[in-house]
Structure 1
Amino acid sequence: MRGVGAPASLWRDRDFTVFWLGQALSVVGGSLSLVALPLLVLAATGSLVQMGLITVVTGGTGILTGLFAGHVVDRCDRRRLMIACDLLRGLLLGALPLVWLTAGPAVWVLYVLTALVTALKTVFDVAYVTAVPQLVRAADLTAANARLMGTFALGTLAGPVAAGFLTAGPGGEWALGVDGATFLVSAVSLRWVTFGRHTPPPDDAPVPRPTGASGARRLREVFAVGFRFLWGHTLLRPLTVLLTLLTFVTMGATDLLIYRVREDLRQDAATLGYVIAVSGLGVIGAALLAGRLRRALGFGPCWLGAVALIAVAVAGIGLSGSVPVIAALAVLFMFGTTLGGVTSMTLRQEVTPDALLGRVTSAFWTVHNAAGPVGAAALTGLGARYGVPAASVTGGALCLLILLAGLATPLRHGRPTAAGIRCRSRGRRWCTPRRIPPASGTAPRRRTRSR
């Protein structure tokens, strides 16, 4: 169990508070990019398909990086790795306004920038998920994750509004530059955080000997370690499959909303910024209620209920011609995605041993994000050909099918327990918390068995 002794208030935990505030500030920058990047592409090309392709690049890069991100996180000092990712993202995004001024608008620059920043973001996010259990006790995980999500909502309230004004004024490239500055601040804040105070002691079980395989084969084996843990767990297995299908729908949903407001309803960038900012209320609401709902209902009902809300929101955004109604549906969408995200992340942190958490998180994200780029391309392509209403209704119907499938799995009454892990092993390949392969190619350790 992570952490022992009397519980302490998260408000009095200096390390968590510094981590929490530093990352909340960086979300303001991320919210700027959420609006500014698609608008930059739209201003340069006027094409919904090009907007979808940027989303495809984001998803595809995340999948490729996810194959090795967990291995890197489990091998490296997580704090230093996160600082390095922040510094590099800050420099890349900060350089964009200069490139835009000297070379002029160039869509290919945005594709390259998106790929590099996404790769760094994937590594950072895996390290971020593994860091939270090292900062707080196991009993505080849901509260900590919910507080992070809720505070991040403050950034989503301010960021899109600022992005709308920056895009309408100096330009979207300056909004991305400001995003880069927030990453630099995040890097500085991480230097004041100490990880590992709540890390469980290492397991005394023997570890398997490295196979000495080639680089490509070793990479596959490293990824397979996390995947076997996912597939051996009675709740993580259906969750991974259903999230893969859900991501197929939701990754392109933001593009549909942006196109619906800007092109179909002929609203300006500032109005779009307000709509996305208001959606942050859904994040705040979910953050406040996630802990209570999880305790009262369990993981499965919370997650499946979130899918139902997402289905209603995705379909309604395409059917409504009213900006206030679309804003309300965006709130519902963000409530569902936040509730599902908090409960899903907490579940993985609860049932996964610390030494394996990076690889399990990386495998989880890689697998369930695999359908995202295809879904984004399909959804935006469908919207370009048949209109956003048709694409949105199709997306909502797919979400309802995912919900019905989930009701036929253990998720309908799922609560995480140690007994939920079932191991299938072959030779020296292990998937249980008791047998964890080393993250690096070190020699096996011999331990003395106590009697």
Structure 2
Amino acid sequence: MSNAPRLGRAPLWRDRSFGTYWIAQSLSAAGDAFAYLAVPLLVLQATGSVAQMGLLTAVAGAASVAAGVFGGVLVDRYDRRTLMIVADLVRLVLYGLVPLVWLAGPRVWLLFVVLPICEAAGMLFQVAAVTAVRNLVDADRITEANGRLQATFAATAVLGPLLAGVVSARFGPATAIAVNAASFALSAAGLRLVRLRAARPADAPEVPRGSPLVEFLAGARFLWRQPVLRALTVLLSVFVFLVYGFTDVLIYHVTHDLGGSEGTVGTVLGLAALGTVAGALLVAPLRRRRGFGTTWIGAHAVCGFAVAGVGAATTVPAVTALTAVYLCCLSIGGICSMSLRQEITPDHLLGRVTSAFWSTHYALGPAGAAILTWTAGRYGVPAVALVAGAGCLLVAVGGLFTPIRRAGAEPAADPRGLGPTPAVGTTGG
């Protein structure tokens, strides 16, 4: 499958359906950027404990993983746009409860109820959103589309934490969460205007259905039988264990060790998000020139050095710069991995393969977040960041001994979902 763009086509930004989808996703991402900062600050403000922040991240992450198990089955069975709208409305209602209840005083227990449900709805939304890209653009433009989407998400992530820091400092983190809730209403309204292409041709045979577990296992089977996807799943499971609680540790480092305020945290996360913008814009040309394997391995190696550097940094500007490097490389590696799955997976399996991948590689994340934040509070951020960074570097080195290293243009997917079949003019992964 060639990644070279076809000549004579209009640029993606002129595609009306993709543009509408792009705007709706950006609105949702803008609100998420508020919650990204506001929820940890709300817990830290009420309890003063980084371990409580990590515990909430762990519980919410576990709910997300559980939802991912069957999210792909729903996405492959039902209309993807409708599922995204429902997920937006659920988060609108639940996040909207937080600032209302907080008027009577801090209720941390409410976050342990609301956040897991919202994370589960968010996982369903993300599985549907990833698969919807396949129904919006041609196969050879998937990496470009993902790059543009992620670049815009990152751009909102620049302003989001900055504004969330200002709002949190002036009106409190609960108000910032109210802004997040409102963003889901705008996202749902925008998605109603999107029209997706048919998932399969009208004359294609109906795909047989089984029980939800059997259908999920079909996606997991495809994921495990594809050598590159299998290696990615295993290595990324370790990587997520190491960095799932990184944001909590970063916020704790800036506020506790460096004496920063809530506004300082917002500035750090906002400016560092420029790294995500850079990564999203760089990923397509990097992959074309260097290939999948080199790009993915190199990105995760640099992530390791950046994570270790954040812990060693003693000034806010240094933390900001290193976090930007980390987010840049995280963006490059993530978009590469996501685009590869979209390119080589049959459409009727795409939701299940996506959810099987995310459920598996996020499974260790909640435990990792709890351990990372607990050890940071007990032994200090520098030591924990050094160990986590070294682990990330080992993940990249591990990629050198798997099919990831040789991955270039991947085999095309067998339309029956039985596995990859050689495509004309491509080299095997």
TM-score, normalised via structure 1 length: 0.89
Asked if 1:432 is matched to 2:428, the reply is: no
In structure 1, C-alpha distance between the alignment counterparts of 2:390 and 2:225, rounded to whole Å: 30
Residues 233 and 111 (structure 1 numbering): CA distance in 2 closer, same or farther, change over 3 Å?
same
- Residue 430 of structure 1: how far off its partner (Å): 6.6
Give the equivalent residue in structure 2 for 1:32. 34
Residues 78 and 267 (structure 1 numbering): CA distance in 2 closer, same or farther, change over 3 Å?
same
Asked if 1:274 is matched to 2:267, the reply is: yes
Aligned runs of 1:145-294 on 2, under 5 Å? 145-196=146-197, 199-201=199-201, 210=210, 218-294=211-287
- Residue 63 of structure 1: how far off its partner (Å): 0.9
Q: Name the Cα RMSD after superposition.
A: 2.2
Residues 231 and 343 (structure 1 numbering): CA distance in 2 closer, same or farther, change over 3 Å?
same
**Is residue 297–residue 397 contact of structure 2 (8 Å, CA) maintained in 1?**
no
User: Residue by residue, what CA displacement relative to the aligned partner does 1:41-86 show, whole Å, maximum 9, x if unpaired?
Assistant: 0011111100000110121011110111001111111111111111
- Residue 382 of structure 1: how far off its partner (Å): 1.3
Asked if 1:390 is matched to 2:390, the reply is: no
Residues 402 and 209 (structure 1 numbering): CA distance in 2 closer, same or farther, change over 3 Å?
closer
Residues 76 and 420 (structure 1 numbering): CA distance in 2 closer, same or farther, change over 3 Å?
closer
Residues 431 and 282 (structure 1 numbering): CA distance in 2 closer, same or farther, change over 3 Å?
same
Asked if 1:414 is matched to 2:429, the reply is: no
Corresponding letter in the other structure for 2:41: L
In structure 2, C-alpha distance between the alignment counterparts of 1:341 and 1:101, rounded to whole Å: 39
Give the equivalent residue in structure 2 for 1:65. 67
In structure 2, C-alpha distance between the alignment counterparts of 1:5 and 1:325, rounded to whole Å: 44
Give the equivalent residue in structure 1 for 2:298. 305
Residues 117 and 207 (structure 1 numbering): CA distance in 2 closer, same or farther, change over 3 Å?
closer
- Residue 432 of structure 1: how far off its partner (Å): 2.8
Asked if 1:13 is matched to 2:15, the reply is: yes
SS at structure 1 position matched to 2:227? coil
**Is residue 67–residue 124 contact of structure 2 (8 Å, CA) maintained in 1?**
yes
SS at structure 2 position matched to 1:8? coil
SS at structure 2 position matched to 1:201? coil
- Residue 206 of structure 1: how far off its partner (Å): 8.2
In structure 1, C-alpha distance between the alignment counterparts of 2:61 and 2:208, rounded to whole Å: 34
SS at structure 2 position matched to 1:195? coil
**Is residue 261–residue 267 contact of structure 1 (8 Å, CA) maintained in 2?**
yes
Query: Mind listing any 5+ residue stretches in structure 2 that lack a counterpart?
Result: 422-429
- Residue 306 of structure 1: how far off its partner (Å): 1.1
**Is residue 4–residue 137 contact of structure 1 (8 Å, CA) maintained in 2?**
no
**Is residue 225–residue 431 contact of structure 1 (8 Å, CA) maintained in 2?**
no
- Residue 168 of structure 1: how far off its partner (Å): 1.1
Asked if 1:76 is matched to 2:78, the reply is: yes
Aligned residues: 419
Determine which structure has more spread, i.e. the larger CA radius of gyration: 1
In structure 2, C-alpha distance between the alignment counterparts of 1:291 and 1:433, rounded to whole Å: 23
Residues 420 and 356 (structure 1 numbering): CA distance in 2 closer, same or farther, change over 3 Å?
closer
Corresponding letter in the other structure for 2:79: D
- Residue 8 of structure 1: how far off its partner (Å): 3.0
In structure 1, C-alpha distance between the alignment counterparts of 2:266 and 2:128, rounded to whole Å: 30
Give the equivalent residue in structure 1 for 2:337. 344
In structure 1, C-alpha distance between the alignment counterparts of 2:85 and 2:207, rounded to whole Å: 30
- Residue 90 of structure 1: how far off its partner (Å): 1.0
Query: Mind listing any 5+ residue stretches in structure 1 that lack a counterpart?
Result: 211-217, 424-428, 435-451
Corresponding letter in the other structure for 2:138: R
- Residue 410 of structure 1: how far off its partner (Å): 1.2
- Residue 273 of structure 1: how far off its partner (Å): 0.5
User: Residue by residue, what CA displacement relative to the aligned partner does 1:251-296 show, whole Å, maximum 9, x if unpaired?
Assistant: 0111111100001111101011000001111111112111100101
User: Residue by residue, what CA displacement relative to the aligned partner does 1:339-397 show, whole Å, maximum 9, x if unpaired?
Assistant: 01111110000000111100000000000001101111111111111111110000011
Corresponding letter in the other structure for 1:432: G
Give the equivalent residue in structure 2 for 1:442. none
- Residue 162 of structure 1: how far off its partner (Å): 1.1
Percent identical across equivalent pairs?
Answer: 47
TM-score, normalised via structure 2 length: 0.93
Residues 206 and 393 (structure 1 numbering): CA distance in 2 closer, same or farther, change over 3 Å?
same
SS at structure 2 position matched to 1:235? helix
- Residue 324 of structure 1: how far off its partner (Å): 0.4
In structure 2, C-alpha distance between the alignment counterparts of 1:409 and 1:400, rounded to whole Å: 15
Give the equivalent residue in structure 1 for 2:350. 357
In structure 2, C-alpha distance between the alignment counterparts of 1:209 and 1:137, rounded to whole Å: 27
User: Residue by residue, what CA displacement relative to the aligned partner does 1:392-446 show, whole Å, maximum 9, x if unpaired?
Assistant: 000011111111111111111212422788x9xxxxx974379xxxxxxxxxxxx
Give the equivalent residue in structure 1 for 2:425. none
